[in-house]
Structure 1
Amino acid sequence: MSSATLREIARRAGVSVDTASRVLNGRNKETWASTRERAERIRRIAAQLDYTPNAAARAMVGKGTHLVGALLRNAPDAPLHYLESYEAILGLDAALDAAGYVLCLVRCSEVPTPGREGSRVFRERMLDGMVVFDSMTDAVMADVERLTPRCVFLDANVWRPENCVQRDERHAGRLAAQGLVDAGCRRLVFLELFEFEGAPHAFAERRQGAASVARKAGLPFEQKPVVFLPGRLAEFAPRLAEMLDGGTGILALTAGLAQFVATVAREAGRTPGRDFALACCDENQGIRLAWPGLSRVTFDRFAMGRQAGEAMVKLLTERRGTPSCRLRGEWVPGTTAVLG
């Protein structure tokens, strides 16, 4: 293990200990060519000496750990919940990393509660801030904000004047429904997931946006909730197949439901874009790559995550909040929101 110190690195580089510290801890402003060259020299010497910064010492000096948590609903009983959030997590991490912060994933089951100790990040107050994803119970939110007061809410069921970044889900619902109306559909069937306590805000807001378009167009609007589990999907499939007629527009809440519709249609000998119209309020990377023709609302979750990360950096470095914002997606016409 290396015994190199900041003082030794500074001596070899011909700079002050403070300058060496700023460079190696990611706090150096490298605006000019001379400062960039000096920083590279310091990093090169540190690498040659196998120098490793001491996080604990840095925390004591700087009054912070430079660790930021991302609180997710994923828990042992739902390890793959909301996989689309990974795109936003990558954007969040990019913004934090650029400012010298490290992202730490925290599951909601790690939050301390009466009778449960919780994880080290809470017991030892390891986090400078927390980015909260998705929907959390009021009790969890109260504990998180008590233990980590500096919070930013990313695509979460929280809306406040500051530090909230959301997708405009009503707008997404309106875009998808309008695509089906423009295709000449005579009725809209909104395929959604059964709501549960603390369900993501997107569930209701996409439906509300779509329903408003149907009302304006004077079209029937039917809600069809689905339990998205293998056995229950199989039970619903025959009912769905009966809806796939020439005048119907199927509006899927999620990309997974759109894929379910396509599977049922194929087994029934029907094709979206020919025998019925299909649109989706959302997408994911798999859809973009494997089914680019799906008529859908596209959205840059990476950019949303980056924006939340920048809000967190501002909150930590300037002690100022960022006005909350809702970001809008765009309609991709595709080939399925068509009546053949």
Structure 2
Amino acid sequence: MRRSARRPTIKDIARRAGVSQSAVSFALNDRPGVSPATRERVRRVAEQLGWQPSTAARALSGEGAATVGLVLARPARTLGVESFFLRLVSGVQEALAERRLGLLFQVVEDVAAECEVYRRWWAEHRVDGLLVVDPRHADARPGLLDSLGLPAVIIGGLESGSADGAAEYPAISELRTDDAGAMASIVDHLYQLGHRRIAHIAGLPELAHTRRRTHSLREAAGALGLTEVRSVSTDYSDAQGAAATRAVLDDARPPTAIVYDNDVMAVAGLAVATERGLAVPGDLAIVAWDDSVLCRSTHPGLTALVRDTGAFGRRAATALLALLDGEPAVHVLDERPRLTPRGSTVPLAASRQAHGKALGS
């Protein structure tokens, strides 16, 4: 249910004045592009609705300071060893610093707590916009943020066809990642190397990107006639990554290749293979979803998906700044991460010959 009491937004002004949101932005920011009559009508409607420029808008014109919010609903214990979010936040901060905006960051245990933080920040006028990470299945957050009138950027992209898709909300932009295409590139790489049994050590099952990767694994495998593929969910930690690796290696027909949803779990999987006397890549191929110094520091180096995560964060922050400038929401598919082969994946026949071991058929 939508909240009845909320800050009036540019969307409200545009609807009442009968003009576009861009025209409202031009009129309120005294920019060319609208007639004097339209400018006066927009300002009159804004006054009637009690609209006030956000602190972000004042900061963008050099009149003050503002804050953007980011809440992460993941167990805090999983954050200390994973470099992805640190690199993402670094990129976000670079873009915000150029416009004199601060970043308010908070870690909570679950989405319910995250939503409570949003309500509190809105009530206290603590933030003027939000960066939202880890989109989920049947995500309630876009509807909440729309009801509060808080501009936001969804980082990662909601599920296609979701009833709460960001496209329904004019103040919510979306920076999607091509998880399906990235997973398909991994499956094709492993297939070309001779692998026919592939396991996927995935992240949290409720996350939209986990569901996209799992679905893409099944689709890509099916197109190639592969029937022995599976996904196992974890919390992204090294402990659960190691436990999941042991579980799939205990199968009657264990995988010859494992794809991990982050670098930390991939390194933990490599350690499990070593403790069991399995050679990588002779007995087992390993692929990490996100490249990092960890992937480049192991022996062998780990094949990984490479992207500039800092630049990804900068693009997300820039999209939010555009919303705060009064620009319309956008829905952008970001560039696909590039699969970079290293020593953990080589042609299966060559690895068998090199290590003198035969894998099960």
SS at match of 2:283: coil
C-alpha deviation, 1:243, in angstroms = 5.6
Which range moves more in the overlay, 180-189 or 213-222? 213-222
C-alpha deviation, 1:311, in angstroms = 0.8
- Letter of the 1:297 counterpart: L
Task: Report if the CA contact (8 A) 1:166-1:327 is conserved.
Answer: no
- Letter of the 1:214 counterpart: A
* Inter-partner Cα distance in structure 1 for 2:271 and 2:308: 26
* Inter-partner Cα distance in structure 2 for 1:297 and 1:142: 32
Map 1:141-152 → 2, pairs under 5 A = 141-152=142-153
TM-score (norm 1): 0.68
1:135 counterpart residue number: 135
Which of 216, 232, 237 aligns to 1:225? It is 232
Map 1:60-209 → 2, pairs under 5 A = 65-74=65-74, 84-108=84-108, 111=114, 113=116, 119=120, 121-135=121-135, 138-155=139-156, 157=158, 159-161=165-167, 163-193=173-203, 195=205, 199-209=206-216
SS at match of 2:291: coil
1:42 counterpart residue number: none
Q: Alpha-carbon deviations, 1:239-287, whole Å to 9, x = none? A: 4334698982222233233223211110111121112222233334433
Task: Report if the CA contact (8 A) 1:297-1:329 is conserved.
Answer: yes
* Inter-partner Cα distance in structure 2 for 1:233 and 1:258: 7
C-alpha deviation, 1:139, in angstroms = 4.6
* Inter-partner Cα distance in structure 2 for 1:266 and 1:300: 30
For structure 2, the 5+ residue unaligned runs are 1-54, 160-164, 352-361
Task: Report if the CA contact (8 A) 1:91-1:302 is conserved.
Answer: yes
- Letter of the 2:225 counterpart: G
* Inter-partner Cα distance in structure 2 for 1:254 and 1:286: 11
Matched, 1:299 2:307: yes
Task: Report if the CA contact (8 A) 1:165-1:326 is conserved.
Answer: yes
Map 1:13-24 → 2, pairs under 5 A = none
* Inter-partner Cα distance in structure 1 for 2:337 and 2:67: 31
Q: Alpha-carbon deviations, 1:146-195, whole Å to 9, x = none? A: 33521111125465346111221111211211111111113222233462
Q: Alpha-carbon deviations, 1:52-86, whole Å to 9, x = none? A: xxx99x77x98975211122214678775975222
Task: Report if the CA contact (8 A) 1:70-1:104 is conserved.
Answer: yes
1:31 counterpart residue number: none
1:20 counterpart residue number: none
Which of 204, 215, 220 aligns to 1:213? It is 220
Task: Report if the CA contact (8 A) 1:87-1:301 is conserved.
Answer: yes
Q: Alpha-carbon deviations, 1:281-331, whole Å to 9, x = none? A: 333443345568211211221111111111111111243323422331001
Distance 1:213 1:70, change over 3 A: same
TM-score (norm 2): 0.64
Q: Alpha-carbon deviations, 1:7-34, whole Å to 9, x = none? A: xxxxxxxxxxxxxxxxxxxxxxxxxxxx
2:358 counterpart residue number: none
2:330 counterpart residue number: 322
SS at match of 2:330: coil
Distance 1:77 1:147, change over 3 A: farther
Task: Return the index of the structure with the highest Cα Rg.
Answer: 1
Task: Report if the CA contact (8 A) 1:74-1:80 is conserved.
Answer: no
* Inter-partner Cα distance in structure 2 for 1:108 and 1:217: 41
Which range moves more in the overlay, 183-192 or 224-233? 224-233
Task: Report if the CA contact (8 A) 2:199-2:230 is conserved.
Answer: yes
- Letter of the 1:180 counterpart: L
Task: Report if the CA contact (8 A) 2:323-2:329 is conserved.
Answer: yes
SS at match of 1:134: coil
Sequence identity (%): 21
Distance 1:244 1:317, change over 3 A: farther
Which range moves more in the overlay, 164-173 or 66-75? 66-75
Task: Report if the CA contact (8 A) 1:191-1:252 is conserved.
Answer: yes
Could you say what the CA RMSD is over the residues aligned between the two structures, in angstroms? 3.6
SS at match of 1:153: strand
Distance 1:244 1:173, change over 3 A: farther
SS at match of 2:131: strand
Which range moves more in the overlay, 94-103 or 216-225? 216-225
- Letter of the 2:188 counterpart: Q
SS at match of 2:195: coil
* Inter-partner Cα distance in structure 2 for 1:187 and 1:81: 29
